[in-house]
Amino acid sequence: MKKSLAWAVTSVAALTLSVGTALPSHAATQPQPSPSAKIYNATSDVTAKDRATMDRILAKLPADWQTRRDAVLKEHHLEASPVRDVVQAKVANVINPDDYDCGPTKLDAYVDSILKDVDPGNLFLLSMIGALDFPSYDALIYGTPKGANYQLPSAYASSLTTTFGYAQRFWDVRLNDVQLMAMHGTMMTDTNRVARMVTLFYGLEGQEAIDLANDIISIVKSDAGLQNGENPIFTLNAFAYSAVGETDPVFKRLKDKLVFGDGILAALKGIGLNQVGPKAVMGHEMAHHVQYEDNLFDSDLEGPEATRRTELMADSFGTYFVTHKKGVGLNANQVLQAQQAFYAVGDCQFDATGHHGTPNQRRAASAWGAAVVATSNNPNKVLPSLKLDAKFEKVLPQLVAPDAPTSLDAYRKVAAN
Ligand SMILES: [Zn+2]
């Protein structure tokens, strides 16, 4: 199945480990357990108020809510993300293999900073019921380029639209049917829009959907740290979507899309990459659309290695585009910043199916893309995408090697071949 790919997406499992939910419930041995006893184990540090809120919400969900949630999140994945992994790694105390230089990037500190005023119980609950993904799915299903709720933020609209147009014309595949739009966390306080997501995720209709939506909204509104949905955690991603291969009636009718969250723009600004970061992300996401058109998602690889290949390819293609004179034409210093953007969102979750590549691997993939431009003997010539792919497949083993260099110069020789 074709997959839509996310730059960075908040997701349902984000904080699962923080309150010990992975441990089995003791509900069977307790008298009249509350529904939340199946979510929170007996010893987890959860307030009575949070348990009561969870009980109230669970009472409204269908019995198979977790299965339904996973079906929406997995089958149509706006896929697992660096941010989710950053948070998970933090709470799970993941130890990284010694031979890879893999550690926290500026994004880790940024995620810490946006979550510091959020009540952990609320974050966990929203995460569990998939609500951190509601803005993504709302934009995916209901967003249109002209829709009032999906307009690009004014500070970025011109730059993103221009870069998007450059990318559409740069590549040798049909990209003029891709729709560019934004997603905003403010939908998290709109009863009808949250209710639509409750229907999508859990099959609840009418007043039942509205009741549950209002419960969710009251959590968002009552927690000052969530900023009425404007906390970047709700929209910390950008993603490319293509319906090719989809069979679900809701998803297969959707247009090709490129959705930018306010949160990813805020994050890039927060880590000092406001100028180049959004262009780099645009390059990466449009590279995914090139992959859809060229059928480049298929390979002999499986699981995390398969995802890593397509993600690193998107980093390479994206950097090729932003570096190339016929693309964005960034200068050398800006290219370094683009590489930094890819580095920052790398992840250390080697075993996760959403593994995008480590920070160093992503920077290496980006450096190689820039090196292909730097070593070209005709700066006006854009390589056919399949030719660039053939070069990428050859260099991929070098990019993922433990001691892979991350500078443009290190790839000059191999890029020129
Ligand atoms: Zn991607």
Q: Where are the domains of the chain?
A: 5-416
Calculate mean pLDDT across residues 143-150.
97
pLDDT grade for 1, boundaries at 50, 70 and 90: very low
Which residues have a Cβ under 8 Å from the Cβ of 38 and sit 6 or more positions away?
25, 27
Cα(219) to ligand 1 centroid in Å equals 31
Nearest to 81 by CA among 239, 187, 313: 239
H/E stretch holding 398: helix 385-399
Q: Of the ranges 13-17, 336-340, 375-379, which one carries the lowest mean pLDDT score?
A: 13-17
Q: H helices of 223-377, where?
A: 249-252, 262-270, 277-294, 303-323, 332-344, 359-374
Record the tokens describing residue 246, joined without a space: 């989809």
- The three-state secondary structure class of 198 is helix
Q: Are strands 257-261 and 238-241 parallel, antiparallel or unpaired?
A: antiparallel
Ligand 1 centre distance from Cα of residue 313 (Å): 9
Predicted pLDDT at 81:
52
Residue 396: CA count within 13 A, CB half-sphere: 22
> Do 34 and 51 touch, CB atoms closer than 8 A?
yes
pLDDT above 90 for 2: no
Query: How many angstroms is it from 90 CA to the middle of ligand 1?
Result: 22
pLDDT digits 0-9 by tens, 166-197: 999 999 999 999 999 999 999 999 999 999 99
Specify the pLDDT at position 76: 59
Instruction: Give the C-alpha separation, 309 to 48, whole Å.
Output: 45
CA of residue 111 to ligand 1 center, whole Å? 19
What is the dihedral sign for C-alpha 313, 316, 322, 326?
Answer: negative
CA 54 to ligand 1 center in whole angstroms: 33
Q: Alpha-carbon distance 306 to 184, whole Å? A: 31
Q: How far apart are CA 70 and CA 80, in angstroms?
A: 12
pLDDT at 145 over 50: yes
Distance 241 CA to ligand 1 centre (A): 11
Lowest mean pLDDT among 38-52, 106-120, 147-161, 291-305: 38-52
Distance in Å, CA 88 to ligand 1 centroid:
19
Q: Distance, CA 312 to ligand 1 centroid (Å)?
A: 8
Ligand 1 center to residue 284 CA distance, Å?
A: 6
Per-residue confidence band for 90, with pLDDT thresholds at 50, 70 and 90? very low
Structure-block tokens of residue 22: 């992975």
Which residues have C-beta under 5 Å from ligand 1, the single-atom ion?
5, 311, 314
State the DSSP code for 15. Answer: T
CA of 416 to the centre of ligand 1 (A): 25
Give me 153's structure tokens.
Answer: 């933020």
pLDDT tier at 149, thresholds 50, 70, 90? very high
How far is ligand 1, taken at its centre, from the CA of residue 218, in Å? 33
Contact status, residue 171 vs residue 190, Cβ threshold 8 Å: no
Q: How far does residue 53's CA lie from ligand 1's centre (Å)?
A: 35
Residue 403 has pLDDT above 60, yes or no: yes
Using CA atoms, how far apart are residues 110 and 232, in angstroms rounded to an integer?
A: 10
Q: How far is the CA of 78 from the centre of ligand 1 (A)?
A: 10
Query: What's the CA-to-centroid distance between 76 and ligand 1, angstroms?
Result: 15
- Strand order of the β-sheet with 179-183 is 5-6, 238-241, 257-261, 179-183
The pair of three-digit structure tokens given for residue 198, joined into one six-digit string: 């409750």
From the list 229, 288, 275, the residue with the least C-alpha distance to 2 is: 288
CA of 368 to the centre of ligand 1 (A): 17
CA 265 / ligand 1 centre spacing (Å) = 16
Which residue is associated with the tokens 């930094």? Answer: 340
- In angstroms, what is the C-alpha Rg of the chain? 21
Reduced to 3 states (helix: H, G, I; strand: E, B; else coil), residue 53 is helix
Residue 398 has pLDDT above 90, yes or no: yes
Q: Which residues contact 165 (CB under 8 A, 6 or more apart)?
A: none
Ligand 1 centre and the CA of 5: distance in Å? 5
Summarised one tens digit per residue, pLDDT across range 206-252 is 999 999 999 999 999 999 999 999 999 999 989 999 998 888 888 99
Q: pLDDT tens digit string along 249-286? A: 889 999 999 999 999 999 999 999 999 999 999 999 99
Range list of β-strands (E), 139-285: 179-183, 238-241, 257-261
- Separation in Å, CA 93 to CA 17, 87, 124: 10, 10, 18
Q: Closest Cα partner for 344 from 232, 284, 268?
A: 268
pLDDT at residue 14 greater than cutoff 50 = no
Rounded to the nearest 10°, the torsion over CA 342, 348, 353, 354 is: -30
Helix (H) or strand (E) holding 259: strand 257-261
